[in-house]
Chain A
Amino acid sequence: MYRYDEFDREFVAARVAQFRDQVARRVSGELSEDNFKPLRLHNGVYLQLHAYMLRVAVPYGTLNSSQMRMLAHIARKYDRDYGHFTTRQNIQFNWPKLADIPDILEDLASVEMHAIQTSGNCIRNVTADHFAGASADEVADPRPYAEILRQWSTIHPEFLFLPRKFKIAVIGSPSDRAAMQFHDIGLEVRKNDQGELGLRVFVGGGLGRTPMIGKLIRDWLPEEDMLSYCEAILRVYNLYGRRDNKYKARIKILVHETGLEELKEDVEVEFERIRDGVLKLPDEDVAAITEYFAPPQFDQIPERSDSIEHAKLDNRSFARWVGQNVSEHSQSGYGIVTVALKGTGEAPGDATSAQMDVLADLGERYSHDELRVSHEQNVILPHVRLSDLKAVYDALLEAGMASPNAGLITDIIACPGLDYCALATARSIPVAQELSQRFADLDRQNDIGELKLKISGCINACGHHHVGHIGILGVDRRGEELYQVTLGGSGDEQAAVGEIIGRGFAADEITNAVETIVDTYLSRRLSDDETFLDAYRRLGPQPFKDALYPAKEAA
C-alpha cells in the first residue's frame, strides 16, 4: 500500500501545526465560531448535536495494522472507547474535545493519516472498491488512480470552496462494489484492445434528496489524462454549479439542468486546452505510485485447504461464516474475509478499541498487514490463506465480530441518525437494531439470501437508502418519526434508484413492514436462486403494495 514520502510527511506535519494554531486561536476566543467553521471543516471537524465530531480519512478504505491500532488508541484515549466506520470508508469519532484534536491529528500523522477534506464543500476522500488488489474479477487495481487523485485534490487552491461537496470513486472491475455510479465523478479502470489502461468516466451521480445515476461522459480516457479531465470537470462545475440553493448545488443538478451534451462540450473544450499541460501524468510517475500497491508475496498453495474442509464439517457456524463472509481471491489458496460489524442488536459500523486492536492483530498476522474499510461499514481482511480461516474465525468469535451475515438482510447500512447527527430528522440506529434482532435467525437469513437493507435518518441519504434493495428513510412528520420504504434500489453495476412503495410507517410498525416485504418475496420467488432484487425487478411493486396496504385494497 501507499507509504508517505518525505513530501507527504512534511505536508501533513505542516498542516497539523497550522490547525493547532487555528484551534488555539478559537479556544482563546480570538477566532469566532463563524470564522473558525470553514477552517475546522477542511480538517474534518464537525459540530454535532452533543459534541464535536472528528472524521478521519481512510483513503480508498485501505489501512495497515499500525494505522488500525492508532485508531483504537484514539478511541481509547480521546473518545468513549469506540469509533464508527462510515459509508465513505472513513472513521468518525463522536466525542473528542476540541482542545485535544490537534494532538489526535498529530497521532494520526505519526502513522501517515489525516482528516483533511473529510468535510466542507471540497473534493472529499476518494473511495474505491474495498476488494481492490484482491478480487478475482479485477482488471487493474483502482487504488493507484485513487491515490494520485487524493494527492492532486489535497488543498487544491481552486477547488476548496465549491458549490457543494464533491465525491470521487474509482473501481477496477466490471463488478461495482463501490456504488461508483452514485458519485459526482465515477471512474472505472479498463483495458483497451491494445492492453493499455484507461478510464471510463461517469459524472453527476449522487444520492441525497435528488438521487441520480451518473451519466457516461467519456467511454475511454487514457490514464495519462486523468488529472486534466478531472480538473476540467471541476473547473466547469465550480464556475457554473448552482449556488443559490444548497439542495441544488451538487454537480448532478448541473448535469440534469444543463444537459449532458452541453456540459460535456464545456468539459471537453477545457480538457483539450489543458491536456498536454503540466497535469499530464508521466508513465514513470504512475508506475511509481502503482508499485506501492504491488501485490504482496503470495505463497503458491493449493486451491483447497483440507483442514478447512474438515473444520467446516465439524463446525456448522464456521462453515456458515466461510460460506457467507469469505469471497473469491485472485490468488489460488487465498480468500477475502469480510468482518461484518453488524452483530445482532449492534449499531452498524461501530467498533470498540479492543475490537480494532483485534482487527489490527489479525491484519498483521494473517492478511499481509492490510485491512480495508468497506462502504458497507464492514472491515475487510483482503489476503487471508484459506488454511488460516479457522484461526481468524476463532479470534473474531472471541471478539464478537464473527457475524456470518455479510450481504444478508442484517448486514445493514445505517447512518448515525438522530442519536448523533444535527441534520437527522429521525433515528436510524434503533431501527437497524430492531431489524437485526427480528431477523437474527441465521437459517432464515440464509433462506432469504442476498438482500441489501439501508437506512437513512434524513433526506440527505448518508445511509444510502436509495440504493438499498429495501431502503428506509426516516422523516419527521408533525413531531413523529415516520419511515418511508423504497424498493428495488441497487448500487452495483446495474445501478437503480429505489421506488417509494407507499405511505410511511411509524417507528413501531417499520420492522413488521419489512417482514411483510420479505415474506411476500419468499412466497413469490421462482426458486431459492431468485434474489430479492431479481424478484422485485420481475414482479414490480404491486404484490408488495398489496401485502403492505391490504385495507386500502379492500376499500
Chain B
Amino acid sequence: MSTLFVDGAVHEDRWVSVDGEQPVPEGEDVIVSLAVFEAQSHALVTRNAGRLGVYLEAGDQIEAIADHLDHIVLVALDFPSFADGRAFSKARLLRDRYQFEGQIRATGDIRIDQVSHMRRSGFDAFQVSHQPTIDSLIEDKDSGLDLFYQPAVGDSAERIAGKNWARRAL
C-alpha cells in the first residue's frame, strides 16, 4: 500500500490510473500511461469532465507530452529504482522549460533521503511505498539541509552575498 503526500500532508488519492486496454472512465480524474495518452490524445484533451494526468516511465521523455501541457494538470514521474535519477531532470524541465504549474508526482522507489532533492527539482507530491519513508514524512522530517550551493526550482530562498549561485532556505 502506498501513501500519497501532497504539499507535505497525507492526501487521499482520488485519481484513477488507466493503462492498457481498459476504457478511460468518464467524468473521473485520470492518470493515463503515455501509451494510452498517445493513442487517445485528442479525445483525452477534449473531455468535458474529469481532469487529466499523465504517467511517464523513467524512459519516457517530456517532449512526448510537451505540446499538450495546457490540458494536463498532473504529471507522475516514476523512479523504478532510487538510483535512477532521470525524473529529477524531467521535473526540472517541466517547471523551468515548460512553466508547468500542475502537480508533479513522484512514484516508485522513493527514499526519505531523496525527498528534499525531489522538492528542489520541482516535485510537490510523493506516492510512497517505503514504510520508513512514510513514517518520516508523517513526522515531517525530510532530512534535507537548509543550505544550498545552487539555485533550484521555485526558489523563495535567500541569495548568499558573494555567491550568486548559493541559497539559504527562508
Residue ranges of A at the interface with B (Cβ–Cβ < 8 Å): 5, 7, 10-11, 14-15, 18, 22, 30, 35, 38-39, 121, 148, 151-162, 227, 235, 238-239, 243, 273-274, 278-282, 284-285, 288
A235 to B116 CA separation, bound complex (whole angstroms): 19
Residue ranges of B at the interface with A (Cβ–Cβ < 8 Å): 58, 61, 82-86, 88-90, 92-93, 96-97, 111, 113-114, 116-118, 120-121, 132, 143, 145-152, 155, 160, 162-166, 168
- Counted as pairs of residues, one from A and one from B, with CB atoms less than 8 Å apart, the total is 110
B95 CB to nearest chain A CB (Å): 11
CB pair A157 B165 closer than 8 Å: no
CB pair A38 B83 closer than 8 Å: yes
A444 to B89 CA separation, bound complex (whole angstroms): 56
CB pair B92 A235 closer than 8 Å: yes
**Closest A residue to B116 using CB positions:** A157
Cβ 8 A contact of B148, one of A39, A155, A285: A155
With known contacts A11-B145, A14-B145, A285–B89 Cβ distance under 8 A: no
Where chain A touches its partner, the secondary structure class is helix
Determine the chain B residues whose CB is within 8 A of the CB of A158 once the complex forms: 85, 88-89, 92, 117, 120-121, 152
CB pair B149 A160 closer than 8 Å: no
Cβ 8 A contact of A7, one of B121, B164, B166: B166
A288 to B166 CA separation, bound complex (whole angstroms): 14
A121 to B113 CA separation, bound complex (whole angstroms): 15
CB pair A39 B88 closer than 8 Å: no
CB pair B85 A162 closer than 8 Å: yes
CB pair B147 A7 closer than 8 Å: yes
With known contacts A157-B120, A158-B89, A279-B151, A285–B162 Cβ distance under 8 A: yes
A126 CB to nearest chain B CB (Å): 13
CB pair A239 B148 closer than 8 Å: no
CB pair A157 B88 closer than 8 Å: yes
B35 CB to nearest chain A CB (Å): 20
A148 to B155 CA separation, bound complex (whole angstroms): 20
A316 CB to nearest chain B CB (Å): 51
22 A-B residue pairs with CB within 8 Å: A5-B162, A5-B163, A7-B163, A7-B166, A35-B132, A38-B113, A121-B83, A152-B165, A154-B149, A155-B117, A156-B149, A157-B120, A158-B88, A158-B121, A159-B88, A235-B93, A238-B85, A238-B89, A239-B89, A278-B151, A285-B164, A285-B165
CB pair A14 B120 closer than 8 Å: no
Determine the chain A residues whose CB is within 8 A of the CB of B89 once the complex forms: 158, 235, 238-239
Determine the chain B residues whose CB is within 8 A of the CB of A279 once the complex forms: 150-151, 165
With known contacts A5-B162, A38-B83, A157–B145 Cβ distance under 8 A: no
**Closest A residue to B112 using CB positions:** A35
Cβ 8 A contact of B143, one of A7, A18, A239: A18
With known contacts A5-B162, A11-B145, A239–B61 Cβ distance under 8 A: yes
A11 to B144 CA separation, bound complex (whole angstroms): 11
**Closest B residue to A269 using CB positions:** B97
A152 to B163 CA separation, bound complex (whole angstroms): 10
Determine the chain B residues whose CB is within 8 A of the CB of A151 once the complex forms: 149-150, 163, 165-166
**Closest B residue to A237 using CB positions:** B89
- Pick from B111, B146, B162 the residue with the most CB of A within 10 Å: B162
A231 CB to nearest chain B CB (Å): 8
A28 CB to nearest chain B CB (Å): 13
B153 CB to nearest chain A CB (Å): 9
A159 to B149 CA separation, bound complex (whole angstroms): 13
A14 to B150 CA separation, bound complex (whole angstroms): 17
**Closest A residue to B120 using CB positions:** A157
Besides the contacts A10-B147, A235-B92, A238-B86, what 13 more A-B pairs have beta carbons closer than 8 Å? Answer: A7-B168, A30-B132, A38-B113, A157-B116, A157-B121, A160-B85, A160-B117, A238-B89, A239-B86, A278-B164, A279-B150, A281-B165, A282-B164
Determine the chain B residues whose CB is within 8 A of the CB of A278 once the complex forms: 151, 155, 164-165
With known contacts A7-B163, A148-B165, A238–B150 Cβ distance under 8 A: no
B100 CB to nearest chain A CB (Å): 15
Determine the chain B residues whose CB is within 8 A of the CB of A35 once the complex forms: 111, 132
Determine the chain B residues whose CB is within 8 A of the CB of A157 once the complex forms: 88, 116-118, 120-121, 148, 150, 152
CB pair B92 A243 closer than 8 Å: no
B4 CB to nearest chain A CB (Å): 21
CB pair B147 A14 closer than 8 Å: yes
CB pair A14 B164 closer than 8 Å: no
Determine the chain A residues whose CB is within 8 A of the CB of B92 once the complex forms: 158, 235
A46 to B164 CA separation, bound complex (whole angstroms): 33
Determine the chain A residues whose CB is within 8 A of the CB of B117 once the complex forms: 155, 157-158, 160
B108 CB to nearest chain A CB (Å): 12
Determine the chain B residues whose CB is within 8 A of the CB of A284 once the complex forms: 162
A37 to B131 CA separation, bound complex (whole angstroms): 18
**Closest A residue to B83 using CB positions:** A161
Determine the chain A residues whose CB is within 8 A of the CB of B61 once the complex forms: 239
A151 to B167 CA separation, bound complex (whole angstroms): 11
Determine the chain B residues whose CB is within 8 A of the CB of A238 once the complex forms: 85-86, 88-89
CB pair B165 A155 closer than 8 Å: no
- Pick from A18, A35, A281 the residue with the most CB of B within 10 Å: A35
A52 to B117 CA separation, bound complex (whole angstroms): 27
CB pair A38 B164 closer than 8 Å: no
CB pair A155 B149 closer than 8 Å: yes
A112 to B132 CA separation, bound complex (whole angstroms): 33
A7 to B147 CA separation, bound complex (whole angstroms): 8
B47 CB to nearest chain A CB (Å): 30
Determine the chain A residues whose CB is within 8 A of the CB of B147 once the complex forms: 7, 10-11, 14
With known contacts A282-B164, A288-B162, A161–B143 Cβ distance under 8 A: no
**Closest A residue to B160 using CB positions:** A7
- Pick from B111, B114, B152, B163 the residue with the most CB of A within 10 Å: B163
Determine the chain A residues whose CB is within 8 A of the CB of B149 once the complex forms: 11, 151-156
